[in-house]
Amino acid sequence: MLKFALAGNPNSGKTTLFNALTGSTAHVGNWPGVTVDKREGTYKKGAEPIGIVDLPGIYSLSPYTPEEVISRNFLLSDEINGIINIVDATNLERNLYLTTQLMELGVPMVIALNMTDVLDKQGDKIDVRALERRIGYPVVEISALKGTNVDDLMEKATEAIKTKRVGETVLKDSLLGSAIANAEIALKLKGVYAPLFHAVKLVEKDEIEVKSHPEEAKAVEAFIQANAGGREIDTEAEIADARYKYITSRFSTTLTRARKLDYNELSKSNKADKVLTHKWFGIPIFLIILFAVFHLTFSENVLYLGSIIPSFGEWCGQEGSVAKGIFFGDGLNSPGVILFNALDLLTSKIGEWMGMGLEGLGAHEAVVGLVCDGVWGGISSVLSFLPQILVLFLFFSILEDSGYMARVAFMLDRIFRRFGVSGRAFMPMIMGFGCSVPAMINTRTMADQKEREATVRVIPFFSCGAKMPILLAIAGGIVEKFGIGNADIITYSMYLLGMVVAMLSLLIMRNTTMRGEASPFIMELPIYHMPGFKNLMLHLWDKAKHFIQKAFTIILVSCVIVWFLSNFGWAWNYVGENMDQSILASIGKLIQPFFTPLGFGSQLSSTGWVFAVAALTGLIAKEDVIATFGTLAGCLMAGFEVSGALEEGVEEVIVMITSTGISIPALLAFIAFNMLTIPCFAAVATAKAEIGKGKFKWTLLFWIFTSYLVSTMVYTIGEFWWTSFIWASVAIITTIAIVLYNKKADKKGKV
Ligand code: GDP
Ligand code: MG
C-alpha cells in the first residue's frame, strides 16, 4: 500500500485533513501541539487504498522538541512513498520555512495549500501557479475544514510519486552553499540516505548529525573555518537567515494582500483579544464563561427565571404532564437537562415494558430482577447522563476550536508558573474533562520530565465525563431529598474543588518531591474562527459511541456481577430482598470501616456498605459507581415509595440516602473521594505507561492519600464546622515546613 505522511506547522490543519481523508475522528483543536504522536489511517476514495500518517506539527526538522524528533525520524525512514506538506496559506512565509527543509529530503512531495477559505474571506490572493513554478513541487489549493479539493490533492500526490526526486536546497547560493555541497558529496559516497538533508544538518552542527558522522563533521568545520577568513560563523543562524531571505525574495511576491486590513479576521481577532485577554478581566471572563457553560448544561432554572418571575410555574403547564416533566423544573430547564429528561423518560419506559413482558411470560423473580434491576437499572442510570456529557463536551469543543482556549492557556501561564507548571499544562487539563487517557498522552508536549509527571498525576482531578453521573446523580439527590441548593451550583463547585486540589497538589509536589522551575511557554496564538459544524459533530459522535460502547460492555458486565453478588449468599443461596445476607454485603461491610472518617463508613445504618461497594466498583469504570447504585437500589426499592416523576440515577441515590441515613457532608465527601481517588483501569494503565513503572507506585499512593485526606476534610468541616480550625492549623504547619525545607534544599543546591 502506498503511504503518505502529513507534515506541516502546528495548527496548519494536518489533523483536520487527516480526518477528512480517512474519515477518522482524531482530536482537532485550534491549538498548536494537539497531535503529539503519529497516527495512521487509510484513504479509500482513490483507485487503491492509501495509507495516511498524521505527524505532530513542527516548525523545523531540528531535534529540539519531542515533536520534531518524532516527525523527523519518521520522514527519514523508508516507510513512506511521499510527503503531503500542509501549508497554512494565511501564514505563507512562515510555513514555507519548513517546506524549504522538506525539499532537502529528496522525497516526492505535494504541497497542500490549506485554509484557502480564510484567505478568500480576507480577500488575499496567492498566485498558485507562480508559487508552484518557483518551488518546483505541485501545489493544490484546499480547505481541509470544508473538504474542498482533497480528492484532487490525493490524485496529484499519487501522480507525484511516479517521478523520482533528489534533494534540492534553497541554500545553494548562500554563504554556506559550497560547504553544504561538499558535505553532500562526502555523505553520498558513504551511502547515506537523503544525503543533502544530512549535509545541511551537518553544516548546521545539529547534535544528532554531528554524533552520527563525527569525521565528516570535523572536515566540514575545517572547510568553513578556512573559507570564513578568521570570522566566527554561527552556521545555524546563518542558514535560518538564508532560508528566510530566499522565501521573502522569491515567494512573497506570489502573495497579494487585500488592502482593507482592518476588515479582515486578524484585526477582528485583535479587537476580541482586547477584551477577552484583558490583563485583569481576562480570567474573570473565563470563569464566567465556564459558569455559563455549566449553567446551560446542568441548570433546572435557566437564568433563574423561575425565581425571578413568581408566576413562572403557572405558565409551564400542568404538574405531572410530560411537557412539564421534560422542559420545566424549578424554572426553565437548560438544554442539557431537557435532553436528559427526554432520554430518561424513554429508558424508564423501556425498563417497565421489559418487566411487564417478562412477568407476562411467567419468568422467575430472579430473572426479572437480573434483567430489569441488575442490567437495565445499572445501564440506564448511566446512559441517561449521556446527553449532558455531550452538551458539556460540545461547549468545550466550541471554546477550543474557536481559538479561545489557547488564549486562556496564555493568560493562565502567569498564574500556573507560581504553581510550578507552564501554561502548556492547561491543554491536557482541559482534555481531562473529557477523558484522562488522551489528556495524559497529551502531556508529551511538555518538555520537562518532572513537570510532566506532576501534571499526569493531577489530570484525574479534572473530573472526566465518566465521573459526571456521580456528580449529577448525587447533586440531584441532595436537591430533591434535602430541598436545598441548585444542582448546577453543587456540580460547579465540585468541579472547582477538583481543580483547586489539582493546583495545590502541583504546588506541593513542585516544591517538595518534584522540585523544579516551570519550563518556558512559547506558542503562537491562532486567530479566532468559527468552529466547523461537521468537525464538532464528528467529535460528539466519537464521544457518544465510546460512552455507549462502554455502557454495553464493561458496565453491563459489572452490573451483572454486582447483581449476582448482591442477590446470592456465600452458600449460593438466592437471598432476594434480604440483600444484607449477600456476598457483596459481607465484602462491603469488611471495607466499610475504612470510610468512617469520610462520613460514609460505619456510622451509616446496616445498608451503609453500599457506598463502600460503589466506590470499589468505580475502580473498573467510574460510571460503575452510579450503575452499582442502580443495581442495588432495585433490590432496596421494594420497601420504598419514591414519587414517580424523578429521574433515573437520582431516584436510586434518594433510595440510598433514605435507607442509609447518610448526611449531606458525607455525600459531598463521597463525590470528592470518587473524583480524586485512583481513576479507572484505562487511566491507571495510561499513567503507568507515561510515568514509567518504577515511580508509579508513588502515584497510586498519591491518589489514595489525596482523596482520603480531602474527603475527610470535606466531611469533617461540613459536619463539625469547628474542625476547620484544626485543618487551618495543619495547613499552616505544612506550609511552614515546606518553606523551611525549600530554604534548606536551595542552600544545598548552591554549595
Ligand atoms: P494541526 O495542529 O495541524 O493538526 O491542525 P488542526 O487540524 O488541529 O487544525 C487547527 C485549526 O484549524 C482547527 O481549529 C481547524 O478547525 C482549523 N482548520 C483546519 N483546516 C482549516 C481550513 O481549511 N479552513 C479553516 N477555516 N479552518 C481550518
Ligand atoms: Mg494535529
Is 113 touching ligand 1 by the criterion CB < 6 Å? Answer: no
Q: What is the DSSP letter of 161?
A: T
Is 12 touching ligand 1 by the criterion CB < 6 Å? Answer: yes
Whole-number Å distance, alpha carbon 11 to ligand 1 midpoint, is 6
Share of the chain above pLDDT 90, in %: 33
Query: Residues near 650 by Cβ (< 8 Å), separated by ≥ 6?
Result: 472, 473, 476, 477, 480
In three-state form (DSSP H/G/I as H, E/B as E, the rest C), the secondary structure along 646-675 is: CCCCHHHHHHHHHHHCCCHHHHHHHHHHHH
Whole-number Å distance, alpha carbon 51 to ligand 1 midpoint, is 21
pLDDT reported for residue 607: 85
Is 56 touching ligand 1 by the criterion CB < 6 Å? Answer: no
- Ligand 1 nearest-atom number relative to CA 30: 14
Is 57 touching ligand 1 by the criterion CB < 6 Å? Answer: yes
Nearest Cα residue to 670 out of 600, 610, 619: 600
Mean per-residue pLDDT, 363-391: 83
- End-to-end CA separation in angstroms for the chain: 60
Residue 166, exposed/middle/buried by CB under 10 A (0-12, 13-18, 19+)?
exposed
Is 713 touching ligand 1 by the criterion CB < 6 Å? Answer: no
For residues 211 and 385, the model is more confident at 211
Is 30 touching ligand 1 by the criterion CB < 6 Å? Answer: yes
Q: How far apart are CA 54 and CA 16, in angstroms?
A: 10
Q: How far apart are CA 269 and CA 342, in angstroms?
A: 39
pLDDT tens, residue by residue, 82-96: 999 999 998 888 899
pLDDT reported for residue 623: 87
| Average per-residue pLDDT for the chain | 86
When pLDDT is cut at 50, 70 and 90, the band that residue 261 belongs to is: very low
Is 11 touching ligand 1 by the criterion CB < 6 Å? Answer: yes
Residue 41, exposed/middle/buried by CB under 10 A (0-12, 13-18, 19+)?
middle
Q: How far apart are CA 281 and CA 729, in angstroms?
A: 33
Is 679 touching ligand 1 by the criterion CB < 6 Å? Answer: no
When pLDDT is cut at 50, 70 and 90, the band that residue 20 belongs to is: very high
pLDDT tens, residue by residue, 661-703: 999 999 999 999 999 999 988 889 889 888 877 789 999 999 9
pLDDT reported for residue 751: 47
pLDDT reported for residue 297: 84
Is 6 touching ligand 1 by the criterion CB < 6 Å? Answer: no
Contacts 24+ apart (CB under 8 A), 147-156: 147/20, 147/534, 148/116, 148/117, 150/17, 150/20, 150/21, 151/45, 151/46, 153/84, 153/110, 153/112, 154/21, 154/43, 154/45, 154/46, 154/50, 155/46, 156/110
Is 711 touching ligand 1 by the criterion CB < 6 Å? Answer: no
Q: Cell triple for residue 475?
A: 447533586
Q: From the CB of residue 42, how many other CB atoms can be counted at a distance below 10 Å?
A: 14
* Most distant CA pair in the chain, distance: 101
Mean per-residue pLDDT, 435-441: 83
Phi, psi of 568, deg, nearest 5: -125, 145
Whole-number Å distance, alpha carbon 24 to ligand 2 midpoint, is 13
pLDDT reported for residue 750: 55
pLDDT tens, residue by residue, 161-187: 998 888 999 998 888 899 999 999 999
pLDDT reported for residue 50: 94
Q: From the CB of residue 643, how many other CB atoms can be counted at a distance below 10 Å?
A: 8
For residues 298 and 429, the model is more confident at 429
The mean-pLDDT minimum among 249-253, 349-353, 582-586 falls in: 249-253
Contacts 24+ apart (CB under 8 A), 22-27: 22/52, 25/538, 25/539, 25/541, 25/542, 26/54, 27/431, 27/438, 27/539
pLDDT reported for residue 16: 92
Q: Cell triple for residue 64?
A: 529540539
When pLDDT is cut at 50, 70 and 90, the band that residue 401 belongs to is: confident
**Nearest residue (CA) to ligand 1, atom 13:** 30
User: Which ligand does the CA of 143 lie closest to?
Assistant: 1
pLDDT reported for residue 313: 66
Is 532 touching ligand 1 by the criterion CB < 6 Å? Answer: yes
Phi, psi of 61, deg, nearest 5: -100, 30
- Ligand 1 nearest-atom number relative to CA 142: 23
Mean per-residue pLDDT, 154-159: 94
Three-class DSSP category at 252: helix
**Nearest residue (CA) to ligand 1, atom 11:** 30
Mean per-residue pLDDT, 284-306: 85
Is 13 touching ligand 1 by the criterion CB < 6 Å? Answer: yes
In three-state form (DSSP H/G/I as H, E/B as E, the rest C), the secondary structure along 454-467 is: HHHHHHHHCCCHHH
pLDDT tens, residue by residue, 499-558: 999 999 999 999 988 888 887 776 667 778 888 888 888 878 887 888 888 888 888 888
Whole-number Å distance, alpha carbon 288 to ligand 2 midpoint, is 29
> For a substitution probing ligand 1, which of 28, 34, 121 has the most ligand atoms within 8 Å of its CB?
28
Is 29 touching ligand 1 by the criterion CB < 6 Å? Answer: yes
Cβ-contact 41, 21 below 8 angstroms: yes
Nearest Cα residue to 625 out of 688, 562, 582: 562
**Nearest residue (CA) to ligand 1, atom 18:** 13
Phi, psi of 126, deg, nearest 5: -120, 130
For residues 644 and 224, the model is more confident at 224
- Ligand 1 nearest-atom number relative to CA 8: 3
> For a substitution probing ligand 1, which of 11, 14, 16, 115 has the most ligand atoms within 8 Å of its CB?
16
Is 464 touching ligand 1 by the criterion CB < 6 Å? Answer: no
pLDDT tens, residue by residue, 447-496: 788 899 999 999 999 998 889 889 989 998 998 888 877 788 888 899 99
Residue reference for cell 473538504 = 147
Q: What is the DSSP letter of 10?
A: T
pLDDT reported for residue 562: 85
